[in-house]
Structure 1
Amino acid sequence: MDLHLPCEDSSVNDVVPIWNPSVVANAERQRLQGKDGSKVTTVVANPCQGPDRPLEVSYTDTMVIGNGSFGVVYQAKLCDTGEMVAIKKVLQDKRFKNRELQIMKRLDHCNIVKLKFFFYSSGDKKDEVYLNLVLEYIPDTVYKVARHYSKLRQTIPINYIKLYMYQLFRSLAYIHSLGICHRDIKPQNLLLNPETGVLKLCDFGSAKTLIKGEPNVSYICSRYYRAPELIFGAIDYTTKIDVWSAGCVLAELMLGQPIFPGDSGVDQLVEIIKVLGTPTREQIREMNPNYTEFKFPQIKSHPWSKASFIKVFRMRTPAEAVELVSVLLEYTPSLRVSPLQACAHAFFDELRDPLHRLPNGRSLPPLFNFTQLELSAAGSLKSALIPKHLKDSVGSGNEASAASGGPSTPENINPDSPSHPSSSTTSRQPSNEIV
């Protein structure tokens, strides 16, 4: 097999070039001793929303909970409230404005991790500056939960898969309505509260506001979840790469293992072809018009039918689940369903049942508290998205206030939710850098 794929280059600095002469006006940190002898760190931080007035924030009980090429993530406790937070610390280039921060300041959604504060700190080396994002702390991830079941040689119960995937699609619908592409959807970036069943999308370190005609790097997204157009080297892709990744996550949760494992771009493509068949020339042109190598193995795909989906999925996998995967994992990006179309899919009908509960007996978290921004993109899908019992209770024209299947209380009704904070308008400077 002779496949020629673009080189994988992950060396691109994914930040927004903009002149910023000083980002460390409040970099100094004071270390004090708490009453119980614990170390307390006090910083001058900026709030994510509201008036841009720096304020002192003190935290303690700091410990490392994650690290990687991006930096380090700490868990800490706010001294004033006792609330647990996660602090993501990343090295900052003073010549650039951090794209992750600019995007996080725009976001306000129940299925997206909330940025509370941010501050800058100095490093050990001269002129070394770190950006610290203070985020709400959520204890689990879909990845950890899936691993737990895998060790038991089980898959996550289908009710939980429905709940988690529905909330993922809601988060994608929201960020895509703002023109933002996450570019790294995977189980590790899906935070979970195991008690309430609430899922929140995190890690916007690879996210970008996509602008038509503006090139983007193709080597983005974790390999098992990379859309085929990225493997073919496309630089003018759309938010549909997130939809493909979400389809991979759904398939993985049902299978108990990644659907397209691969150690390289070629391996990845072979795994995709095994399931979807060899892409046609037209499909390849739709993925990347500039790709000219057409030497592919001719492999027949598994037909997505009730009679033969056992070749990919387990015998008892619901037909609606397989059908949803089939419209998410399309070669042609434009043929993949939108996140809101996915939310309206029959696979999630059970969540719209007012009597449905979590397997632990608890009520479902708010699932239908759509903001006007979300519904403005829904069009004719509104009637399918909001359950009949909620439409009847809130009346015509108030669909945005429909919330969970539980009682209509102030906590789960959201008629006046802001679409996003006023800080969503950020300045952009022209750049020759492709990110």
Structure 2
Amino acid sequence: MCSARDGQAQRCHIRPASDPKSATARRRNRTTPGRGVPCLPRPRWYAAAARDEVGGPAAGTVPSPQSHKGMAKKLTAFSTAGSNVAGGGYYHLPITDIVITKRDGQKVKTVQVVKADGSDDDLIELSYITTKVIGKGTFGVVQQIKLVDTGEVYAVKWVRQDRKFKNRELQIMRHLSHTNITQLRYFFCTLDKNKDTVYLNLVMEYIPETVHRVILHYSRNKHTFPLFFIKLYMYQILRGLAYIHMLGISHRDIKPQNLLCDPDRCIVKVCDFGSAKYMIKGEPNVAYICSRYYRAPELILGATEYTTMVDVWSAGCVLAEFFIARPVFPGDSNLDQFSEIMRILGTPTEEQVLEMNPNWTECRFPKRKAVAWEKVLEGKGTPSAIDLTVRLLDYVPAKRMTCFDGMTHVFFDDLRKPGITLPDGGPLPQLFNFSHEELQVNPSINHLLRPH
């Protein structure tokens, strides 16, 4: 049922798609006593689109890797049955043994890897030491490693690989190369001790911090995140997203934890493409995607033909979080998340609801008035920051500012001033080294993108 909580937005829970005459349905179809607000119907995101199962066959125009020939004897190949984009066939990746030796009292692992920007047949040998575990989750483990020969430091993401499917994250990352995107360097596959589970290892550039931890650092020290660095970090976030959107890719899990940063160089890079997908118009996608606090409202309403604008919404949430040091929409559940959004943006109109999901027919929501963003950002947001936030966090996906347009916003004008430096006098990271392809997206705004 729907209930109120201390004057906040009503919590609207999803009614299962069941027989309306059943006892369960009758109980869940009740309105809130004295309020007359019906519970929201359950969106159909649980019937996941067949071509968009997590870890399933990749969509888009990514070429399929070539089959492997002339492997070293210790290498085998496994095939995954997911059909490739070209239409059918098998997907092959080399499986290698990890050889462990001792060197100067340290455990050294040696493995055959494939260069991310090379042919699958070009194998090279890497010897490394695992220095620490960076993170763990349902996806797997991320470790920091150090190469024995060169001393280079990398991050290795270690995930279970379903033999039935291609790994979409690997396919996408092999085709990305940008200043504000974490770079994949190598990859290799291994088996577990029982030789029945395959693990994919993604060897990526190592970036020491996340935006989440940097925000937490300022908050714990009771300091406000410096406005100049909000501009610098947010610009790079939008630039990284603009690049993948140009390629037709939606990240689908933008949040501070998936934004790496190097505080010394002030560089920000988008990471973790485990939920990313090439967006094909007319092709359905799962709606139950993206971390809850950063989930776009059209996803909450069960839309399956959404666009890269779901990332723009998430970016707007991150922008607000820079100012208040906590998620701006902290929902307890999926539908409670929508209630949190209404608490600030107000109740969407019927037209806005249909723009988010044309198939959403039962759209009665509790009436809420919008809250001024000056209040939401606790008086810390400048007029230009508030304007950018409003343009990113629009109910209607098509009305949200694109990432390329976002970079031209007046909020970032300080970054374009001639001779601008970091507060300590150091140089800014690369902000304007746009490729020819980037400048072809919307030539009419190119003069606004560059310093002026």
Name the TM-score class by shorter chain.
Answer: 0.7 to 0.9
Tell me, in whole angstroms, the C-alpha distance in 1 between the residues paired with 2:47 and 2:168. 17
Structure 1 residues 213-252: aligned runs within 5 Å: 213-252=282-321
What's the Cα RMSD here?
A: 1.7
Verify: 1:368 aligned to 2:432, yes or no.
yes
What's the TM-score once normalised by structure 2's chain length?
0.82
Tell me, in whole angstroms, the C-alpha distance in 1 between the residues paired with 2:47 and 2:253. 13
Verify: 1:191 aligned to 2:244, yes or no.
no
Verify: 1:121 aligned to 2:190, yes or no.
yes
Tell me, in whole angstroms, the C-alpha distance in 1 between the residues paired with 2:221 and 2:433. 35
Q: Which residue of 2 aligns with 1:327?
A: 391
Q: Which of the numbers 84, 91, 100 marks the counterpart of 1:31? A: 100
8 Å CA contact 2:135, 2:143 repeated in 1:
yes
Structure 1 residues 83-102: aligned runs within 5 Å: 83-102=152-171
Q: Which residue of 1 aligns with 2:54?
A: 13
Verify: 1:385 aligned to 2:449, yes or no.
yes
8 Å CA contact 1:75, 1:86 repeated in 2:
yes
8 Å CA contact 1:20, 1:97 repeated in 2:
no
Residues 63-110 of structure 1 show CA distances to partners (whole Å, capped at 9, x for unaligned) of: 211111111111000122111100001001122110000000000001
Tell me, in whole angstroms, the C-alpha distance in 2 between the residues paired with 1:55 and 1:154. 47
8 Å CA contact 1:324, 1:347 repeated in 2:
yes
| Cα distance change of structure 1 residues 272 and 105 upon mapping to structure 2, 3 Å threshold | same
Structure 2 segments unaligned to the other structure (5+ residues):
3-38, 58-81
8 Å CA contact 1:5, 1:231 repeated in 2:
no
Of stretches 357-366 and 68-77 in structure 1, the one that deviates more from structure 2 is 357-366
Verify: 1:284 aligned to 2:353, yes or no.
yes
User: Which is greater in Rg?
Assistant: 2
Question: Which amino acid is the alignment partner of residue 357 of structure 1?
Answer: T
Verify: 1:148 aligned to 2:217, yes or no.
yes
Tell me, in whole angstroms, the C-alpha distance in 2 between the residues paired with 1:112 and 1:10. 32
Tell me, in whole angstroms, the C-alpha distance in 1 between the residues paired with 2:223 and 2:106. 42
Of stretches 262-271 and 188-197 in structure 1, the one that deviates more from structure 2 is 262-271
Residues 111-132 of structure 1 show CA distances to partners (whole Å, capped at 9, x for unaligned) of: 0001000000111233211000
Tell me, in whole angstroms, the C-alpha distance in 1 between the residues paired with 2:260 and 2:95. 30
**Displacement of 1:10:** 11
**Displacement of 1:29:** 1.3
**Displacement of 1:27:** 2.0
What's the TM-score once normalised by structure 1's chain length?
0.85
Q: Which of the numbers 244, 254, 265 marks the counterpart of 2:334? A: 265
Verify: 1:106 aligned to 2:175, yes or no.
yes
Tell me, in whole angstroms, the C-alpha distance in 2 between the residues paired with 1:7 and 1:214. 16
Q: Which residue of 2 aligns with 1:3?
A: 40
Number of equivalences = 382
Q: What SS is found at the alignment partner of 2:41?
A: coil
Verify: 1:42 aligned to 2:115, yes or no.
no
Residues 41-61 of structure 1 show CA distances to partners (whole Å, capped at 9, x for unaligned) of: 111110011344111111113
8 Å CA contact 1:20, 1:94 repeated in 2:
no
Residues 409-434 of structure 1 show CA distances to partners (whole Å, capped at 9, x for unaligned) of: xxxxxxxxxxxxxxxxxxxxxxxxxx
Question: Which amino acid is the alignment partner of residue 243 of structure 1?
Answer: V
Structure 1 residues 164-179: aligned runs within 5 Å: 164-179=233-248
8 Å CA contact 1:60, 1:76 repeated in 2:
yes
Of stretches 136-145 and 52-61 in structure 1, the one that deviates more from structure 2 is 52-61
Q: What SS is found at the alignment partner of 1:66?
A: strand
Which structure is higher in RCO with an 8 Å CA cutoff and minimum separation 6?
1
Q: What SS is found at the alignment partner of 1:261?
A: coil
List structure 1 runs of 4+ shifted beyond 6 angstroms: none
